A and B are shown apart, each in its own frame.
Chain A
Amino acid sequence: AQKVTQAQTEISVVEKEDVTLDCVYETRDTTYYLFWYKQPPSGELVFLIRRNSFDEQNEISGRYSWNFQKSTSSFNFTITASQVVDSAVYFCALSEGVDNQGGKLIFGQGTELSVKP
């Protein structure tokens, strides 16, 4: 069965610190997608990144970077030089295999990041 684990429930850092949010997933499918979403206090889910199982390239987007390692089933997210506006709940999510019906997203429990000035 598919599962996403975000072991860090809450993280608190001081502005300008780097912070890494961990995500570990389980799936028996060979083809799958991984996502990160940001949920600010206003409640909407903001898409940050998608990665598919056949592309292990890491990605950097401004202060955000992602490390995808199939060998350890991890898809970690790092914010460099954190800012107060980064304070939010961050969700890692897994999409079921392409060969299967449905395609629903399975979310991790979320990590609440608090960046203090």
Chain B
Amino acid sequence: AAGVIQSPRHLIKEKRETATLKCYPIPRHDTVYWYQQGPGQDPQFLISFYEKMQSDKGSIPDRFSAQQFSDYHSELNMSSLELGDSALYFCASSLDKDRGKLDYGYTFGSGTRLTVV
């Protein structure tokens, strides 16, 4: 079965550079979530999109922006990178109309490990 695809798997950037992370959700899933997991931390919600519109926003720095495109893939753009942005970035997708059903859930990608040097 198709899974959530994240690219790249690993990324090394220097301080003040820009990075773009991509997420391809499960086909027919209409909601995408982005999470940031720092070393030794739990995943923290950044932002989500439903049907290509931003649906919720967490502790996402102003230097970060994201969008969901017409084919439902999403990109997280990170500018002026700082050392503290080094983390594992997860994307997850879900089908909103399944909320309330017994089998509602999320499918996570394998993550993008960003290292800022």
Contacts and interface: CB of A to CB of B under 8 A. Distances in A.
A57 B24 CA distance: 34
Interface in B47-96: 48, 50, 55-56, 58, 88, 90, 92, 94, 96
B56 A104 contact: yes
10 contacts: A31-B100, A33-B104, A45-B90, A47-B108, A50-B103, A91-B43, A98-B100, A103-B56, A103-B94, A105-B33
A1 to B, nearest CB: 13
Contacts of A55: 102
Contact of B33 (A52, A98, A101, A104): A104
Contacts of B102: 52, 55
A102 B48 contact: yes
Interface residues of B, number: 29
A23 B102 CA distance: 21
Contacts of A102: 48, 55-56
B111 interface: yes
B56 A52 contact: no
A113 B55 CA distance: 35
B104 to A, nearest CB: 6
A47 B93 CA distance: 13
Interface of A: 31, 33, 35, 37, 43-45, 47, 50, 52, 55, 91, 95, 98, 101-110
Contact of A44 (B56, B99, B108): B108
Contacts of A45: 43, 90, 108, 111
A44 B111 contact: yes
A19 B104 CA distance: 28
A103 B108 contact: no
A102 to B, nearest CB: 4
A10 B53 CA distance: 39
Nearest to B107: A47
Contact of A101 (B43, B45, B55, B106): B55
Centre residue among B44, B107, B111 by max chain A CB count within 10 A: B111
Contacts of A108: 42
